[in-house]
Amino acid sequence: MTRTAYAVAQAKVNLGLRVLARDASGYHAIETLFHRIDLADEVRIQRTDEERTLAVGGPMVPPDGLGAPESNLAWRAAEAYWQAAGWDGGFAIQLEKRIPVGGGLGGGSADAGAVLRACDRLADRPMGQHRLLEIAATLGSDVAFMTSSAPAAIGWGRGERLLEVPTLPPRPMVLVVPPFGISTAEAYGWLAASRTGPVSRPTPASARAAQPDWRAMELASNDFEPVVSARHHEIAEILRVLRSVGARPAMLSGSGSTVFGVFDGTQPSDLPRRLATLLPGMQLVWTRTAARVVPVAVTG
């Protein structure tokens, strides 16, 4: 019987994001606190004799699909693992999309990280997390965190330098997904154009994150918020509404377009209905911050 690895690809939010100066290669360095949430894609992968396939379904697949399979991060992660492991043959990946695409929640990176962890569970000689993180760093900025076993971590550089920190107590969270995406490259361009002087050194965000609590997170900020809100006034309105109903913090995740609000659990039971009325035309996804990374399961 063919063995199948099943992985839960949890999304993330950025509980604060500083964009620093460009490094020698032209990329902006960042400082952020990554935190996983319960909302997740589902990934299944098997080894095959020859053929390599990717089947994608689920409620968050865009009407025009996700493009060529070979460009999908899940596919690229499997190929990278196959090459590093020296495996022959192919793979069959099934991907159920539940994370909004292109919204700053790291869905593609989560899929890639889940594939790497799943492949290692299928291996007779697992590579271990250190080697997986090395592979992940070649695939994208958030992939290392999404591959790690850390529910929360400070990220530096392009996000590949990680320091695991204690998780925050789980709290209910709403994700507000506007009917448009935001290009990460454009957001970086807007931010660069808005800066007239040298970028300051990091604020003590990492010091707050070393022993995080929700009250400290209320002071966090995202450098993309002002420039994104200036061009998409809907973002500013979402933030205003979330804060008016008690979300602490309420923040853009990554470069957007998703905005999240965290609640302390004391809000009235009709809050989902109220938010749906206050934010017409917006998709609302209710979830929670995560206390753990769900382990990979293997059957067969």
Catalytic residue at 142?
yes
Q: Are 242 and 259 in contact (CB under 8 A)?
A: yes
Catalytic residue (choose from 12, 41, 120, 223):
12
Q: pLDDT tens digits for 115-133? A: 999 999 999 999 999 999 9
The predicted model scores a pTM of 0.91
Catalytic residue (choose from 111, 120, 142, 223):
142
Q: Is residue 78 left, alpha or beta, with left meaning phi > 0 and alpha meaning psi from -120 to 50?
A: alpha
Catalytic residue at 97?
no
Q: Mind listing the domains of the chain with CATH numbers?
A: 4-166 (3.30.230.10), 172-288 (3.30.70.890)
Q: pLDDT tens digits for 208-238? A: 455 568 988 888 899 999 999 999 999 999 9
DSSP H helices in 148-299: 184-194, 205-210, 214-217, 224-231, 233-244, 271-278
Task: For helices 129-137 and 107-122, give the axis angle rounded to 10 degrees.
Answer: 140
CA distance 270 to 103: 26
CA distance readout (Å), 146 to 123, 124, 140, 191: 20, 23, 10, 25
Question: Which residue in 219, 231, 134, 238 sits closest to 190, CA to CA?
Answer: 231
